[in-house]
Structure 1
Amino acid sequence: MIQLHSIDDLDAQLHQLRETGHKIGFVPTMGALHNGHISLIHKAKSECEVVIVSIFVNPTQFNNPTDLENYPRTERQDIQLLEENDCDFVFLPTVEEMYPPNYVPKKIDLSLLENTMEGKHRPGHFDGVVNIVSRFFDLIKPHKAYFGRKDFQQVAVIKAMVKQLKFAVEIEVVETKRRPNGLAMSSRNMRLNEEELEQALIIAQVLNKGKTWSESYAPSTTLSKMKQYFEESKLELEYLQIVHPETLNDLNQYWVPGATACIAAFCGNVRLIDNMELVPNNENE
């Protein structure tokens, strides 16, 4: 695996690969890698000749400075994990390199996509996501880019960005990787103690309950039952919504294919998110 620390290094390597027609797969990360990230890399390896992983804790997508400060940074372990999983290149740029003084942020119309859930509770978050992902796409020009379904709303935003900015890249979404007990894998799990890891299981449990209830009840009733079930937990609920998979509009009376329950909650002072498709979307098959 080759480590790239500057845009010049990146350009030198990629120029040669593009000249020889290699298909490039890209996995953007903020480090603190876990098996969820590794599943993205394996998917990329199976579909592309060259896989590039970026490790960059992007300051512009954190609306809370404390959250940025506390975000786990495990670069040495991350690099070892990437080497063990046959990653071809890891790109480790600095903030100064990614956001030089002459950098002009890209703006797109996210409309409803940023006015609900993560966008509502983390103002400016998706502007930061659009900035960094578009910057990486400009620099790397991948054929395919890989994202985890756990960041459900982020995926919708990135798909909208690709469409509006006309990037020639395919977005591949990989199912959320979970522990055997159902807890979604997340870099933030590193900050939970054993008791909190146990308490956090309520998130996956309430989503599974929602999937069961969706077979018998309308979205509004299903959501009410989910919220009531969650009240028994020790976590602080930030939001719990059942939404359309593309518009992210709340569903009330009727189900649609791909209807998804999304949740954010605080376990201690650690914010966790998760989601689950409640109604099968046959288009995904």
Structure 2
Amino acid sequence: MELLHTVDEVRQRVRQWRREEQTVALVPTMGNLHPGHLSLVEEARRQADKVVVSIFVNPTQFGPGEDFDSYPRTLNDDAAHLREAGVELLFAPAVEEIYPLGGNQTWVDVDQLGEHLCGAGRPGHFRGVATVVSKLFNIVQPDVAVFGEKDFQQLAILRRMTREMLMPIRIIAAPTDREADGLARSSRNGYLRDSERARAPLLQQHLQDARRAIEAGEQDFRALEKRLSTSLNQHGFEVDYFTVANAVTLAPAGARDRDLVIAAAARLGKPRLIDNITVQRSAGTG
């Protein structure tokens, strides 16, 4: 596996692969890799001849008071995992390589989809995500890019961005990788204390409770959201949102919506946990 740090080096290597008629998959990450990331790599290997993984802790998607400075940077361990997973190229640029003018005045911003769920409480976050991913797409020019379904809103925004900007890249959604007790794997799970880790699976359990209620005919989504948010708060979470949303627009769902995503974000001690589950209602409901 090659470890490259500059845009020019990556472009040169990808050009060589193109001359050899090799297809390329990209897995963008911020590092501190766990088995969930490696499941994305496995999917990428199924989709293309060559796999590029990027590790870049992107400053423009962190808001004031968030953990940019303390976010774990574990490049040596990450490289060892990726080498074992059969990745051909690891791209680990410095901030100056991605933002060469020191700060951006050019941004990619997807309207509306970024206004709900995580975007409502993290202004500018998805603008930072869309901008850095578009830069990575421009650098690597992959045929395929793989993202996890755990970040449902991010996935929806990047799919829209790719489609509307006419990028010739196929976005692949990989299922959320979970611990044995149902907790969605995340780099920030390492912040959990033992007592918090024991309670963390309750987030997924409450999402499952919401799905069962909707499948049983529950139509008052706002009451359902309030009831389950209150329950999580009583178990020591600080709920940011617990929302039944339209799976396409991400706006709060109404009685006539059929394709739903139940999404939640909540702090448990230091980390902010996110998770989601999708529901397809039958035509006879609502």
TM bin (shorter chain): over 0.9
Render the CA deviation track for 1:175-212: whole Å, top value 9, x for unaligned.
10000100000000011121111121211111111111
Distance 1:39 1:55 in 2: 16
Map 1:33-182 onto structure 2 (within 5 A): 33-101=33-101, 105-108=105-108, 110-182=110-182
Q: What does residue 18 of structure 2 align with? A: 18
Contact 1:30 1:58 survives alignment (8 Å): yes
Pair 1:260-2:266 in alignment: no
Cα gap change, 1:203/1:91 in structure 2, threshold over 3 Å: closer, same or farther?
same
> Against the structure 1 CA distance between its residues 78 and 152, is the aligned structure 2 distance closer, same or farther, given a 3 Å change threshold?
same
> What amino acid is aligned across from residue 233 of structure 1 in structure 2?
H
Deviation at 1:130, TM superposition (A): 1.2
- TM-superposed deviation, 1:106: 4.4
Match of 2:275 in 1: 274
Give a deviation string over 1:164-183, Cα, whole Å, max 9, x none: 22111000001100001000
Percent identical residues: 34
**Do 2:109 and 2:127's aligned partners in 1 also have CA atoms closer than 8 Å?**
no
Specify the code of the residue in structure 2 equivalent to 1:270: P
Superposition pairs of residues 224-239 of structure 1, within 5 angstroms:
224-239=226-241
Distance 1:280 1:105 in 2: 43
Question: Relative to 1, partners in 2 of residues 1:199 and 1:64: Cα closer, same or farther, differing over 3 Å?
Answer: farther
Which of 246, 249, 253 is 1:247 aligned to? 249
Residues 225 and 278 (structure 1 numbering): CA distance in 2 closer, same or farther, change over 3 Å?
Answer: farther
Give the 3-state SS of the residue equivalent to 1:227 in structure 2: helix
Asked if the contact 1:24–1:143 (Cα under 8 Å) also holds between the matched residues in 2, the reply is: yes
Note the C-alpha offset of 1:261. 0.8
Q: 1:41: how far off?
A: 0.4
CA distance in 2, matches of 1:148, 1:135: 19
- Is the contact between residue 109 and residue 130 of structure 2 (CA under 8 Å) also seen in structure 1? no
Matched residue type, 1:267:
L
Give the secondary structure class of the aligned counterpart of 1:68: coil
Alpha-carbon separation, structure 1, partners of 2:175 and 2:223? 27
Q: What count of residue pairs does the alignment treat as equivalent?
A: 280
Higher deviation after alignment, 100-109 or 57-66: 100-109
Contact 2:108 2:131 in 1 (8 A): no
Q: Quick one: distance in 1 between partners of 2:198 and 2:271?
A: 14
C-alpha deviation, 1:223, in angstroms: 2.4
Question: Is 2:183–2:200's contact at 8 Å kept on the other side of the alignment?
Answer: yes
1:110–1:8: structure 2 CA closer, same or farther, 3 Å change rule?
A: closer
Deviation at 1:6, TM superposition (A): 1.1
Letter in 1 for 2:101: P
Deviation at 1:28, TM superposition (A): 0.1
Residue 221 of structure 1 and its aligned partner are, at CA, apart by 4.2
Mark the CA change 1:62 to 1:41 in structure 2 (over 3 Å): closer, same or farther: same
* Matched letter for residue 116 of structure 2: T
Q: Which runs of 5+ in 2 are unaligned?
A: none
Between 1:112-121 and 1:132-141, the stretch displaced more is 112-121
> 1:214 touches 1:279 (CA, 8 Å); kept in 2?
no
* Distance of 2:258 and 2:113 partners within structure 1: 18
TM-score w.r.t. structure 2 length?
Answer: 0.93
Query: Could you list the per-position Cα deviations for residues 212-240 of structure 1 after superposition, in whole angstroms to 9, with x for gaps in the alignment?
Result: 11112113343243224323210111111
